[in-house]
Amino acid sequence: MLSFECDYNTGAHEKILQKLCETNYEPLPGYGADKYCESAKAKIKDACDRKDAQVFLLAGGTQTNQTVISSVLESYECVISADTGHINAHEAGAIEYSGHKVVALPQKYGKLDAHEVENYLKVFFADENHAHMAQPGMVYISHPTEYGTIYTLDELSALSRVCRNYSIPLYLDGARLGYGLMSDGTDVTLKDIAALCDIIYIGGTKVGALCGEAVVFTHNNAPKGFFTSIKQHGALLAKGRLLGIQFDTLFTDGLYYEISRNAIKSANRMREIFKKKGYRFFIETVTNQIFIILENEKAEELKKHVSFGFWEKYDDTHTVYRFASSWATTDVDIDALAGLL
């Protein structure tokens, strides 16, 4: 059975497994105080080119979004997101569970537009009754977005400018950040992101780790008591080494970028194959996620041999499906897929 269902269908990159095995019997302090966590954090700060950054390692994406957003916001503040943003659409109300409204603005190709945000803020503060409403306290974006699209440097800079004008932190969810950074034609680097955003999370789970997301407060702006907040959210692993070792490996010798690039090359090949075979794309993407509109019958046929992800109903006879490559996708897999299409 072939699998293009998602980018978290295999285990971890073998260098990670190898390092976990090698270090297994080293006694290390718990809760992230070990030397591998320290090393990982230093490497991530370097990669971001931010000496004054603070790095924290958490286990999963929704957990990270909930912990970061609810710790940064004051209790009466809300977070602005594209309506398709992961926190708004697919996290089971985790942000609201922590007490905060997600204000959803319309998206374009999964992206939040700087003008849209600026206009929202202008109208909000011009409203004489705005003290009766949840106050905007953060802007949330994802890169790549949930639709596999990416921001240009201009778009990101414009968002950053609006946020800084209003003194509202900009938070970038990089669950699949590697795939965005390694996309063909992107003009955005990790350093750009670290310079333009106030908080970012660099995804591990979907980019070669068993689990793990690295939160970066880019300019010494972690909220007071953040370590305690992590614990309070149930997000503090006793064996912090599990996260430290993984991120230390990913950020050694550019492994994170290298394996991300593999996913992009794989996705590029897949896109060509889909195109050549006449499949309809639901949206144009340049990252590792490809959205294809399939006739329902065709889909059922394909499902016998390959797994892929339900995205949404298109119409009564068609459905949108997601085909994802990953750091682990091989040419053999793609050839096999090509044979089935």
The owner of tokens 């019958």 is 297
Q: Does 328 bind a copy of itself (CB under 8 A)?
A: yes
Q: Could you tell me which stretch among 26-34, 47-55, 106-114, 140-148 binds a copy of itself (CB under 8 A)?
A: 26-34
Q: Could you tell me which stretch among 45-53, 154-162, 276-284, 307-315 binds a copy of itself (CB under 8 A)?
A: 307-315
Q: Report d(CA 216, CA 335) in Å as an integer.
A: 38
Under a CB-based contact definition with an 8 Å cutoff, are residues 170 and 159 in contact? yes
- Site size for a copy of itself (CB under 8 A): 89
46: left (phi over 0), alpha (psi -120 to 50) or beta: alpha
- For residue 172, the surrounding DSSP H or E stretch is strand 170-174
| Comparison of 146 and 155: residue with beta carbon closer to a copy of itself | 146
| Comparison of 95 and 159: residue with beta carbon closer to a copy of itself | 95
Q: Does 6 bind a copy of itself (CB under 8 A)?
A: yes
Cis amide bond preceding 144, omega within 30: yes
Site for a copy of itself in 141-200 (CB under 8 A): none
| Comparison of 65 and 266: residue with beta carbon closer to a copy of itself | 65
Contact with a copy of itself (CB under 8 A): which of 29, 106, 254, 339?
29
Contact with a copy of itself (CB under 8 A): which of 206, 262, 264, 334?
206
- For residue 104, the surrounding DSSP H or E stretch is strand 102-105
Q: Smallest distance from the beta carbon of 287 to a copy of itself, in angstroms?
A: 17
Q: Does 134 bind a copy of itself (CB under 8 A)?
A: yes
Site for a copy of itself in 91-130 (CB under 8 A): 91-102, 104, 123, 126-129
Q: Smallest distance from the beta carbon of 222 to a copy of itself, in angstroms?
A: 13
Q: Does 332 bind a copy of itself (CB under 8 A)?
A: no
| Comparison of 104 and 302: residue with beta carbon closer to a copy of itself | 104
Site for a copy of itself in 233-252 (CB under 8 A): 233-239, 241-242
Q: What tokens does 50 get?
A: 């931010």
Contact with a copy of itself (CB under 8 A): which of 165, 220, 221, 228?
228
Q: Does 254 bind a copy of itself (CB under 8 A)?
A: no
Site for a copy of itself in 49-68 (CB under 8 A): 59-67
* C-beta pairs of 232-239 under 8 Å, 24+ apart in sequence: 233/63, 233/66, 233/67, 233/70, 233/98, 234/63, 235/58, 235/59, 235/63, 235/64, 235/67, 236/31, 236/32, 237/31, 237/32, 237/59, 238/30, 238/31, 239/30
Q: Smallest distance from the beta carbon of 254 to a copy of itself, in angstroms?
A: 22
CA angle 94, 48, 10 (to 5 degrees): 55
Q: What tokens does 245 get?
A: 């070792």
Contact with a copy of itself (CB under 8 A): which of 145, 149, 205, 289?
205
Exposed/middle/buried for residue 200 (C-beta within 10 Å: 0-12, 13-18, 19+): buried
Exposed/middle/buried for residue 15 (C-beta within 10 Å: 0-12, 13-18, 19+): middle
Under a CB-based contact definition with an 8 Å cutoff, are residues 75 and 135 in contact? no
Under a CB-based contact definition with an 8 Å cutoff, are residues 109 and 138 in contact? no
Q: Could you tell me which stretch among 109-117, 140-148, 181-189, 222-230 binds a copy of itself (CB under 8 A)?
A: 222-230
Q: Does 310 bind a copy of itself (CB under 8 A)?
A: yes
Nearest to 309 by CA among 90, 83, 11, 141: 90
Q: Does 322 bind a copy of itself (CB under 8 A)?
A: no
Q: Smallest distance from the beta carbon of 17 to a copy of itself, in angstroms?
A: 5
Q: Does 215 bind a copy of itself (CB under 8 A)?
A: no
Contact with a copy of itself (CB under 8 A): which of 152, 221, 232, 317?
232
